[in-house]
Amino acid sequence: MNIRLGAWITGAITLALVTVGAWTLSQIPAGRSVPIHFRVDGQPNGWAPADIGLFIIPGVSVLTWLMQIFLPRITPRGANLQRSPGAYDTIWITIALVLSFAEASIVAAALGHPVNVTVALPVVLGLMFIVVGNVLPKLRWNYVMGIRTPWTLADERVWDKTHRFGGWVMVLGGAVLVIGALIPPYVGKPGLVAGTVGSIIVLTIGKSYLLWRETNPGGPAKPVA
C-alpha cells in the first residue's frame, strides 16, 4: 500500500459516511433530534438536531482524511511517514472505520434500531488495538503518529524498541477487550475499557522511559525532544 492508495480508501469511507448521513436525514421527520452521546448502560444522554448530529462524525472524518494527506508533506520527519506507508495508512483507515462505527450507532438510533454500544464499543476498540498493534513496529520515527513521548522523540533507537514493545501490548490489550466484552453478562463494562486502555498507556510510556535511561545512562532525567 502507498499513501496515495490509503488516502483513496479513507476518502471513500468518508464519502460513504456523508452519504449515509444525508440519506438518514431524508428518512426521518423534519426537526427530529438524534442521539450523539450514550451513557455506560447504552442509553442516550446527549442529543442534537438531526441536520447537525448526523454530520458530526462525517465532519471529523473529513478532517482526519485531510490530515492523512497533508501531514507527511508539512511536518518534520514527514519523509519517514512516506517510508512507512503501510503502517501509516492502516492506522488512518482503522480510525476511519472506528468513526464509521460511531456514525452507525447514531444512524441506527435515529432510525429506531439502537445498537448496544456498551457491548459493541469494547469489541470495536479491541479490534482497533489489534490492527494498530500489528503495524505499529513498522512506523518510522516521526512527530505525527505513534507513541510520541519525550524519550521516543529524542532517540530513534528508543522509538523503534518502544514501538515493538507497544505493538505487543496493544495486541494483547485488544484481545482482552474483545474477549472480555463477549463474556456474559452482556452489559456495559467501563472498567474493562478504562483499565485496559490505561494499562496500555502506562506500560508504553514507562517502557519508553526505561529504554531511554538504558540508552542514555548519564543523561538528564527529563530529556527535551
Helix axes 3-27, 50-74, angle to 10 degrees: 170
Do 42 and 107 lie in a common domain?
yes
Q: Which three cell numbers stand for residue 2?
A: 502507498
Do 165 and 150 lie in a common domain?
yes
List, for residues 88-101, the tens digit of each pLDDT value: 999 999 999 999 99
* 170: nearest Cα among 224, 94, 106: 94
List, for residues 125-166, the tens digit of each pLDDT value: 999 999 999 999 999 999 999 999 999 999 999 999 999 999
Do 63 and 168 lie in a common domain?
no
The reported pLDDT for the residue numbered 2 is: 55
Residues of the domain holding 86 = 1-115
Q: Which three cell numbers stand for residue 202?
A: 502506562
Query: Is residue 152 within 8 Å of residue 162, measured between CB atoms?
Result: yes
Rounded Cα distance between 37 and 152, Å, is 35
Q: Among 115, 139, 161, where does a domain finish?
A: 115
Any bridge partners for residue 88, and if so which?
Answer: none
User: How far is Cα of residue 130 from the mean position of the Cα atoms in its chain?
Assistant: 11
pTM of the model: 0.88
User: How far is Cα of residue 106 from the mean position of the Cα atoms in its chain?
Assistant: 18
Do 199 and 150 lie in a common domain?
yes
Q: Per mean pLDDT, which range of 47-51, 77-81, 155-159, 217-221 is the poorest?
A: 217-221
Do 8 and 104 lie in a common domain?
yes
Structurally, the chain folds into a number of domains equal to 2
List, for residues 19-71, the tens digit of each pLDDT value: 999 999 999 988 888 888 877 666 777 889 999 999 999 999 999 999 999 99
Q: Which three cell numbers stand for residue 160?
A: 523503534
Rounded Cα distance between 144 and 87, Å, is 13
Do 188 and 124 lie in a common domain?
yes
Do 184 and 89 lie in a common domain?
no
Do 91 and 122 lie in a common domain?
no
